[in-house]
Amino acid sequence: MRDDSAVSPVVGTMILLTVVIILAALLAVFASGVAEEQKPAPSAEIAVYPAGSGEMFALLFEHRGGDAVKTEDIKIKTWVHLPDGGMKESTHSSLSDSVAYAGEDLRLPWSWSRNQTDDPYRENFGDAVWLPGTVATTGNLKTTGSFLGLESDDLKRCIEKEAVLEVKIFHLPSGTLVQTSTMLLKEG
């Protein structure tokens, strides 16, 4: 004859312990922020293209429509396919170092608006909000080279050889790729 009277309290204790462990795990997940919803990525059309020639060669980032884009929330990665077969990668975010342009320290690409005629609205990358009609620029040949991680002479060679440039724009809060552009580095 078996005595099963002790089995019921043990099973009850195990079930209670399992429920407590599950509740503690759920509480830890919510407290650590893992269960938070991510911000949605902005839906915006941003055209990236080279413009200008000689010492005024630059890259333009033109917001052509859609949601506002806070530049503090984005990261821009570039890859230049060098004529010698190598590759130069560069990354820019609101925390990137400043680059001198026209006697000022600006983080590139700095923004200006075509909507104003007298004194165009200008803001550092990281401080600006790109709205439809806003254009951001890398400035000139020297600062565009710095933006791409190249010396001016190396950038000139890339332009002469029409090297390929890849640009990707990421929205950091959502972890989403917002824009991908591939172009030839050539004067325009």
Q: 57, 111 in Cβ contact below 8 A?
A: no
Continuous segment of H or E residues that includes residue 66: strand 58-66
Place of tokens 């890849």: 166
Q: What is the pLDDT of residue 8?
A: 72
Q: What integer pLDDT is reported at residue 83 of this predicted model?
A: 93
Token look-up 């190598």 returns 86
For the chain, what is the domain count? 2
More confident residue, 99 or 160: 160
Please name which of 48, 36, 35, 113 lies closest in space to residue 74, comparing C-alpha atoms: 48
d(CA 56, CA 141): 6
Residues 6+ apart with CB under 8 A from 117: none
Give, as one character, the DSSP assignment of residue 117: S
Same structural domain, 26 and 75: no
- As a whole number of angstroms, the distance between CA 40 and CA 171 comes to 9
Check whether residue 21 and residue 109 sit in a common domain: no
pLDDT greater than 70 at residue 67: yes
Helices vs. strands in the chain: H and E counts, helices first: 3, 13
Tell whether 15 and 58 lie within a shared domain. Answer: no
Residue whose C-alpha is closest to residue 150's, from 137, 163, 135:
163
| Residue 102 pLDDT > 80 | no
Q: Do 104 and 32 belong together in one domain?
A: no
Q: Are residues 63 and 111 in the same domain?
A: yes
The angle formed by the CA atoms of residues 16, 18 and 21, to the nearest 5 degrees, is: 110
Let me know whether 103 and 25 are in one domain: no
Same domain, residue pair 28 and 76:
no
Counting residues of the chain whose pLDDT is more than 70, the rounded percentage is 83
* pTM passes above 0.85: no
Task: For residue 25, give its domain range.
Answer: 1-36
Query: What gap in Å lies between CA 140 and CA 61, rounded to an integer?
Result: 14
pLDDT tier at 25 (50, 70, 90 boundaries)? confident
Mean pLDDT of 83-88: 94
